[in-house]
Amino acid sequence: MSETLLPYRNPGLSVEERLDDLLSRMTLEEKVGQLLMLNGQDRQTAEGKEPGSMLHIRPPESDEVIDLALATRLGIPILIAEDCIHGHSFWPGSTIFPTQMALACSWDPELLEKVARATALEVVPTGIHWTFSPVLCLTRDLRWGRVGETFGEDPFLIGELATAMIRGYQGSGLDDPQGILATAKHYAGYSETQGGRDASEADISPRKLRSYFLPPFEKAAREGCQTFMTGYQSMEGVPSTCNRWLLRTVLKEEWGFPGILVTDWNNVGRLVTEQRVCATYKEAAAVAVKSGNDLIMTTPEFFEGALEAVREGLLTEAEIDEPCRRVLGLKFRMGLFENPRRSDLALAAEIQNSPAHRAVCLEAARRSIVLLKNDGLLPLAPGGALRKIAVIGPNADNDLDQLGDWSLGASQYPSEAGKQPRENTVTILDGLRRTAPEGCEVAYAPGCSGVTAETDAIAEAVELAARSDLAVVVVGDSLPFIGETLSTATLELQGAQLELLELLAATGKPLIVVLINSKPLVLPRSVQNAAAILEAFNPGMEGGTAVAEILWGKVNPSGKLCVSFPYHVGQQPVFYSQVRGQHGYRYADLTQEPLFAFGFGLGYTTFSYANLRVLTPKMSPGQPVEVEVDVTNTGKCAGDEIVQVYVSDEVTSVTWVDRQLKAFRRISLAPGETGTVPFSLPFEAFSLVNAAGERVVEPGRFEILVGGSSRRADLLAATTELARD
């Protein structure tokens, strides 16, 4: 005789029926426990709490936790989460892809979906169900330590790339056994810092949020992202964790978000200990639940605080039931009650860093690298007079800085956790040595540190450059100046890099500067005057291969900047989509233009734009505007161009940006080939947020600008018009 399943155990019932049954059987303590996400590196905090989720825990410990959860009175499965940010970041031997900022320079959503899919496939067999990625924050002040985690400065580009990664992570749906939960973070406005200081007060009004910061998140919510994470900052005196308007009114009510909202690390505890808007944990628990948070990350005090809040009438049990229902509903929809998704380490060993995933990693690096300057030296011609190349710089053979933040060896895990195997990363030096043609020597001298100011090794590097035909100089930033809590007061090259560059420039030998950095830096004259500049950001494990292929001309660079480069830190913020209206057009002592603009990037061929045609000169509400442009490869080799479309509303009822990106497309053209590139711009692409906070399309004339970067000089212009009623 078969055992009769309790209703919540019966997969044949609807999720709502199962939820009703399970909640009716749970004690208040069990419900509050489901709202906890605790730190697996500090497991004693979980004793007696039966947490609904745990992070930073790996097999076999994570499998033990899964089994412990299943052995409780009701056997509710646990969610295991990890920061799998650009690959399975903290799993030794996994594929580490370029960082978000690097990936964004590919302007290639399909590629990013492949990166996220490969990541999910490596994560799943390690018993992890959930990644805290992607980041949808807008880059603003470049001093902020987390710039490299973003997709750059433009809301539209962020939304397109983020949703691509979400699709890759989540696969065919919540019950996809090869998918993991994605997280849209940090909701919202976290990157609008004061002085670039991490988690400082963000001066953002609700209208400004709706105008620029919320659109990528709305796109993520409407396209199926199942988890959101709050930010650390406060706005108008209200910490994100307490912002009922943001968490409930907008996310859950306006957008109909059905998933769960998780706080960032100890955000509820910070209400008491740092922001000091609550005197006790019971007050903080009540505020967090009432504001709309569903899962409380790494605040173990929330457990007793919430119980006490219910006992004293600050919270009702029904208010606990609401987030508990969301957490349990997610677990039911993922099928965790039927398959708790333990690890399969044999499969993990087989798939980690597989040839297929290395191929995706290499393609991502190739498409992400941006050629910022080339006086004709590149691509290098093998043979002939080129007999010796000097490779110099602190980042030339530095695997940790090449992988960047959120990888083993960075600040998030203790040093005893180790690092990714050195042999898995192809540094710039490795790549050049492997690809150099016969008869061309590649010699190396680091020259200096990117952290300390010691200059003892500079002379050796300068002497090497003087004895070589050219120098590939790899500079940038280092892990001590990257990441959460690690904002910088300047954007200068640190350590002794400035002195090294000046002395190398004085040799008169051609310099090719390769930037390995987490964010745009202020480039000294010695770099600006170099023969060539390549921006690689943190290009992942295959970065050295990709850089070498580009230098030797085996790959034609096609990346475009997702963020603007300043001449000077005092230009902050320097993003392209500035609001119109100021006195003058420059600083008294300096231009306001960036050194390199958003959307800019060179290649080994050139492209011309002609015949911009707006096929919908009169707009109609709800109908798209059709646009075409002819793009010609005017150079001598095949190449990819990223065609960009911007919209400018000529007269607006409120101050608004001069232009905003609304579409883009990557095209491949042979030498002399012309392609007609069509775009269909949705009616909403012409909208703004008015003084009442409503997103509307106002009657009037609009410029449509098409070209190869955000600079007006690079854009063709045509118009369309929405008539007044």
Could you tell me if 434 and 558 lie in one domain?
A: yes
Could you tell me if 448 and 551 lie in one domain?
A: yes
Interval 144-174: pLDDT, tens: 999 999 999 999 999 999 999 999 999 999 9
DSSP per residue, 241-308: GG-HIIIIIIIIIIS---SEEE--TTHHHHHHHTS---SSHHHHHHHHHHHT--BEES-THHHHHHHH
Buried b (16+ CB within 10 A) or exposed e, 170-185: bbeebeeeebbbbbbb
Q: Which domain holds residue 508?
A: 369-571
Could you tell me if 175 and 312 lie in one domain?
A: yes
Q: Which two tokens stand for residue 79?
A: 């969610």
The span from the CA of 706 to the CA of 710, in Å, is 9
Could you tell me if 565 and 680 lie in one domain?
A: no
Residue 79 lies in a domain: yes
Could you tell me if 373 and 312 lie in one domain?
A: no
Interval 11-65: pLDDT, tens: 999 999 999 999 999 999 999 999 999 999 998 888 899 999 999 999 999 999 9
What CATH number should be reported for the domain holding residue 384?
3.40.50.1700
What CATH number should be reported for the domain holding residue 172?
3.20.20.300
Number of domains in the chain: 3
The span from the CA of 682 to the CA of 685, in Å, is 5
Per-residue confidence (pLDDT) for residue 2, from 0 to 100: 45
Per-residue confidence (pLDDT) for residue 3, from 0 to 100: 61
Please, which residues have CB within 8 angstroms of residue 161's CB and are 6 or more apart in sequence? Answer: 103, 104, 109, 112, 134, 151
The span from the CA of 486 to the CA of 147, in Å, is 11
pTM: 0.96
Could you tell me if 68 and 168 lie in one domain?
A: yes
Could you tell me if 193 and 272 lie in one domain?
A: yes
Could you tell me if 279 and 426 lie in one domain?
A: no
Sheet with 53-55, strands from edge to edge, namely 130-131, 79-82, 53-55, 36-39, 296-297
Interval 602-617: pLDDT, tens: 999 999 999 999 999 9
Asked whether the CA dihedral 134, 422, 351, 333 is positive or negative, the reply is negative
Could you tell me if 338 and 386 lie in one domain?
A: no
Interval 207-234: pLDDT, tens: 999 999 999 999 999 999 999 999 999 9
Could you tell me if 489 and 627 lie in one domain?
A: no
Q: Which of 401, 698, 669 is nearest to 541 (CA)?
A: 401
The span from the CA of 347 to the CA of 320, in Å, is 39
Mean pLDDT, the chain, whole residue set: 96
Residue 511 lies in a domain: yes
Residue 522 lies in a domain: yes
Question: Greatest CA span in the chain, whole angstroms?
Answer: 89
Per-residue confidence (pLDDT) for residue 552, from 0 to 100: 97
Residue 119 in this model has a pLDDT that exceeds 90: yes
Could you tell me if 300 and 401 lie in one domain?
A: no
User: In the beta sheet, which residues pair with residue 602?
Assistant: 371
